[in-house]
Amino acid sequence: MISVSNLTKTYSGTTVLNIDQLEIPEGQNFGLVGNNGAGKTTFFSLLLDLIQPSTGRIFNDEITVSESEAWKSHTASFIDESFLIGYLTPEEYFYFVGELRNYNKADVDSFIMQFEDFFNGEILSRNKYLRDLSKGNQKKVGIVAALIGDPKVVILDEPFANLDPTTQIRLKKLIKEQTQTKETTFLISSHDLIHVTEVCERIVVLDKGAVVKDIKTSEATLKELETYFEEQTLA
Amino acid sequence: MFKRFLFLEWKAFFRSASFGKSLGLKILLIFLAIYFSLSFLFLGFGLYPIIEKFYPDVSPPEFVNRFVLIWLVLELGFRFMLQSLPIIDIKPLIILPINRRKVVNFVLLKSLYSFYNILSLLWIIPFGIFSIYKGHSTVGMLGWILAMVFLSLCVNFLNFIIKKKFTENLKALLPVILVIIIFGLLEYFKVFEISPRFGVLMNFLFDFPYLAVFPFLGVITLYKWNQYNLENKFYLDTALKGKKQSTNTHNFGWTQKFGSIAPFLQLDLKLIWRNKRPKTTIYMSFLLLLYGLIFYTNDSYADFHAMFVFAGIFMTGIFMINFGQFIPAWDASYYPLMMSQNIPMKQYLQSKAGLITFSVVVLTILTTPYLYFGWHIFLINLVCGLYNIGVNVPVLLFAGAYNKKRIDLDKSPFMNYQGTGATQWLMVFPLMGIPILVFWLLNTFLSFEVALNTLAVLGVLGLLLRNILMEKICRLYKKRKYQMLTGFKQTGE
């Protein structure tokens, strides 16, 4: 689904991302792990064509991301609050995103119905603008909006951060269901090793912009990751 | 401790994201500051001789005293609109072992260094010294100078209180404004002249200079009041409680008629309706419709029709200029969303063009009553509207591709230069200069009809070429996308 070749991003002489080759097949839950500055957000921004690569290309469903806009119709994302429109209410925001993805009002209404649990009564029909919601609730809105219209690829940057424990558990369930029933390809970055290992079938560790580990998740993965990051503290 | 605060301020200033970026704007502001300083200085030195010349039988200081109250009220008004209060980010300071009072004092004392305080010194002191030189009692004038300085400081702290209390709720200020207006009218119609009465009080200063202690007490009282207010606000409660804002969920359903651009049109209308700064552009547009009265009633323009073109372009295009020049910076805070969602750039731009076109049509219709001043004015406004739609809309969108300054939507619109850059200043020439120049040349050397028709033809041509132009603009936006995204991320003034 996603394929990366010779991708580098350099800011005034410093290489912040350098990935030779990376293939993410359709329907895979892909986890991205790494310390601050490892290049996770840079990679996601490149995937969304928000910054230009210094060299190399990213293909999203065989479309070169930086050359055509065709990938946008099957790709959704929530990176940070700059993906929210502060002066809309959550419902209006969902309708707006829905319209961009060919969902009419009724479609969107029935779609967000299934997230009532997830929203925990704090989002819908509260008559509040998004800018007045708490960080955690904003995040919930952003994540759910990214799922509208059955996108084939969903990119979430740090989806677990700022969420309360109940919602974290619900989100994990949600992601697993989506991959099983709809073959959605999730790209998720996280600092929380337990969450990623639970949700993702495959985990890639980035360090200073380079892929240092590429693991197919198993029982031993969490231990392996913990050992890796412990070694980092010694190095 | 104060030294540390100053150090923080210094860093905040020089390390702000846009430091050096808006150099042009800074130069303009510095130029204005120098201009006003010099004007006030000249006023200070010149006031005495001028009054002496025109009113030889009054004592100039007493004459000045009669207007002190009016001056103070005007000063308060100007300060309220223009002076920005010193702010310090208290959140990180609350948990540090710093006395609350110290921070509050720092904020209050910092306001003393405001340019507006220095400005009044610039005329008060020279005038006082000049009066002493002219033989008025030294001690008396010194008392007067001190009293004036204290009064000016009273205004400074009063403004502080008003701004803190009323900016959230401007309606509460209405009674105060009403009282001021009533006194102003009474003064104007000479029913009850309060300012000269205040002047009589001021005159006592010349004989009893120690009376300057009263305005000083005023300063102290206002200072303490401020201190009390601010210390009570020194909690996060106010920030944590969250604003209880009533939401307006009007949906602008009628936009559905516009098909594929409907969602964006709706979004833009909500943007305008629900945010302070864009909302003011609407009010301004209606207010400035009266602008024509200045031109049409003034005989000196009667034979200079190019000025009417200026008025026409301006009145029919004021919303276009005010709103359009900041496209797409209005969407700055969620530009990454717009760029990664399933949004074709062309539709996005077309909805903006549609909105502006609509505004021009409405404003042009609203200018029709100017028919009263003659058919030629009616025709000029009509043609200017057409020219705005055909030529200026694409020009503005084109220029918008070079906007890369963020606009925070909920900041106050008064004297807010955020998002203003060289592009905005440069835009005035093509938007207004070109049509005026074209019209003026043709009108002078050929005829009124030719000039008018040419503008109309240009407008129609622009409309016919709209699609091609939009394609080109679209490509430019795509090319500039990365610069815009980086630019819009930079917060801070």
If you measure CA to CA, which chain A residue comes closest to B485?
Answer: A50
Q: Are B474 and B345 in contact (CB under 8 A)?
A: yes
Q: What does the alpha-carbon distance between residue A220 and residue A224 come to, in Å, rounded to a whole number? A: 6
Hey, which residues does A75 pair with through a beta bridge?
Answer: A153
- Laid out side by side, the sheet with A210-216 consists of A75-78, A153-157, A185-189, A29-33, A202-207, A210-216
Cβ–Cβ gap A51/B485 under 8 Å: yes
The per-residue pLDDT string of chain A (235 residues; one tens digit each, 9 = 90 and over) reads 899 999 999 988 888 999 989 999 988 899 999 888 888 989 999 999 999 899 999 999 889 988 888 888 899 999 988 899 988 889 989 999 998 888 888 999 998 888 888 888 888 888 888 888 888 899 999 999 999 988 999 999 999 988 888 889 989 988 888 888 878 899 999 988 899 999 999 999 998 889 988 888 888 888 888 888 888 887 6
CA B247-B285-B333 angle, to 5 degrees, is 45
Cβ–Cβ gap A50/B334 under 8 Å: no
* Structure tokens given for B110: 């910092």
Q: What does the alpha-carbon distance between residue A59 and residue A66 come to, in Å, rounded to a whole number? A: 9
DSSP H/E element including A22: strand A14-24
Contacts of B263 in chain A (CB under 8 A): 96, 99-100
Q: What is the SS3 assignment for B57-89?
A: CCCHHHHHHCCHHHHHHHHHHHHHHHCCCCCCC
Nearest neighbour of B409 by CB, restricted to A52, A77, A87 = A87
From the list B110, B120, B128, the residue with the least C-alpha distance to B45 is: B128
Which residues of A make CB contacts under 8 Å with B? 48-52, 69, 72-73, 75-77, 79-80, 82-89, 92, 96-97, 99-101, 127-129, 131-132
CA B166-B167-B170 angle, to 5 degrees, is 65
pLDDT reading at B469 higher than 60: yes
Burial of A2 (0-12, 13-18, 19+ CB in 10 A): buried
Q: Are B446 and B373 in contact (CB under 8 A)?
A: no
Q: Are A19 and A211 in contact (CB under 8 A)?
A: yes
For residue A59, what pLDDT is reported?
92
For residue B246, what pLDDT is reported?
59
Cβ–Cβ gap B334/A128 under 8 Å: no
* Structure tokens given for A195: 């969450």
Which residues of B make CB contacts under 8 Å with A? 242-243, 245-247, 249, 251, 262-263, 266-267, 270-271, 274-275, 333-337, 339-345, 409-410, 482, 485-486, 489
Q: Which of B244, B260, B341 to mutate to test the interface with A (most CBs of A within 10 A)?
A: B341
For residue B15, what pLDDT is reported?
65
For residue B60, what pLDDT is reported?
84
> What's the Cα-to-Cα distance from A212 to each of A22, A34, A47, B462, rounded to whole Å?
12, 10, 20, 57
Non-local CB neighbours of B233 within 8 Å, separated by 6+ positions:
B164
Contacts of A101 in chain B (CB under 8 A): 342
- Report which residue type is found at A26: E
Q: Are A168 and A195 in contact (CB under 8 A)?
A: yes
Contacts of A75 in chain B (CB under 8 A): 340
Q: Are A167 and A125 in contact (CB under 8 A)?
A: no
DSSP code, position A11: E
From the list B129, B124, B134, B111, the residue with the least C-alpha distance to B68 is: B124
Q: What does the alpha-carbon distance between residue A209 and residue B121 come to, in Å, rounded to a whole number? A: 59
Nearest neighbour of A82 by CB, restricted to B270, B334, B342 = B334
Contacts of B270 in chain A (CB under 8 A): 87-88, 92
Mean pLDDT along residues B162-184: 76
Q: What does the alpha-carbon distance between residue B382 and residue B361 come to, in Å, rounded to a whole number? A: 9
From the list B408, B58, B75, B327, the residue with the least C-alpha distance to A87 is: B408
**Segment among B228-242, B318-332, B439-453 with least mean pLDDT:** B228-242
Distance of CA B397 to the CA centre of its chain: 24
* Structure tokens given for B94: 């609350």
For residue A181, what pLDDT is reported?
83
For residue B19, what pLDDT is reported?
54
Cβ–Cβ gap B340/A83 under 8 Å: yes
pLDDT reading at B493 higher than 50: no
Hey, which residues does A29 pair with through a beta bridge?
Answer: A186
DSSP code, position B55: -
What distance in Å separates residue B482's CA from the closest CA in chain A? 6
Gap between the terminal Cα atoms of chain B: 26
Contacts of B342 in chain A (CB under 8 A): 72-73, 100-101
* Structure tokens given for B134: 């002219």
DSSP one-letter string for A158-219: STTTT--HHHHHHHHHHHHHHHHHH-PEEEEE-S-HHHHHHH-SEEEEEETTEEEEEEE--T
Non-local CB neighbours of B342 within 8 Å, separated by 6+ positions:
A72, A73, A100, A101
Q: What does the alpha-carbon distance between residue A20 and residue A214 come to, in Å, rounded to a whole number? A: 13
- Cβ pairs bridging A and B (under 8 Å): 79
pLDDT reading at B456 higher than 90: yes
Cis peptide before B215 (omega within 30 of 0): no
Q: What does the alpha-carbon distance between residue A145 and residue A111 come to, in Å, rounded to a whole number? A: 10
Q: What does the alpha-carbon distance between residue B356 and residue B393 come to, in Å, rounded to a whole number? A: 7
What distance in Å separates residue A235's CA from the closest CA in chain B? 33
* Model pLDDT for residues B20-36, shown as the tens digit of each residue: 555 666 677 788 888 88
Q: Check: CATH 3.40.50.300 for A2-234?
A: yes
CA B115-B121-B126 angle, to 5 degrees, is 140
What distance in Å separates residue B84's CA from the closest CA in chain A? 25
DSSP one-letter string for A107-172: HHHHHHHTTHHHHTTSSTTS---GGGS-HHHHHHHHHHHHHTT--SEEEEESTTTT--HHHHHHHH
- The residue ranges of every structural domain in chain A are 2-234
Cβ–Cβ gap B339/A127 under 8 Å: no
What distance in Å separates residue A13's CA from the closest CA in chain B? 18
Q: Which of A82, A91, A153 to mutate to test the interface with B (most CBs of B within 10 A)?
A: A82
- The residue ranges of every structural domain in chain B are 23-240, 253-489
Q: SS3 of A36, please? A: coil
Q: Which of B243, B330, B331, B337 to mutate to test the interface with A (most CBs of A within 10 A)?
A: B337
Other beta carbons less than 10 A from residue A207's beta carbon: 16
If you measure CA to CA, which chain B residue comes closest to A142?
Answer: B337
Contacts of B339 in chain A (CB under 8 A): 48-50
Q: What does the alpha-carbon distance between residue B2 and residue B376 come to, in Å, rounded to a whole number? A: 65
Q: What is the mean pLDDT of chain B?
A: 81
Non-local CB neighbours of A198 within 8 Å, separated by 6+ positions:
A172
DSSP H/E element including A2: strand A2-11
Cβ–Cβ gap B334/A85 under 8 Å: yes
Q: What does the alpha-carbon distance between residue B484 and residue B493 come to, in Å, rounded to a whole number? A: 17
Hey, which residues does A153 pair with through a beta bridge?
Answer: A75, A185
Other beta carbons less than 10 A from residue B15's beta carbon: 9
Nearest neighbour of B247 by CB, restricted to A50, A51, A128 = A128
Contacts of A82 in chain B (CB under 8 A): 333-337, 489
Cβ–Cβ gap B270/A101 under 8 Å: no
The residue with tokens 């600092």 is A191
Q: What does the alpha-carbon distance between residue B357 and residue B463 come to, in Å, rounded to a whole number? A: 11
* Model pLDDT for residues B52-93, shown as the tens digit of each residue: 888 888 888 888 888 888 888 888 888 877 777 666 666 677
pLDDT reading at B304 higher than 90: no
What distance in Å separates residue A173's CA from the closest CA in chain B? 25
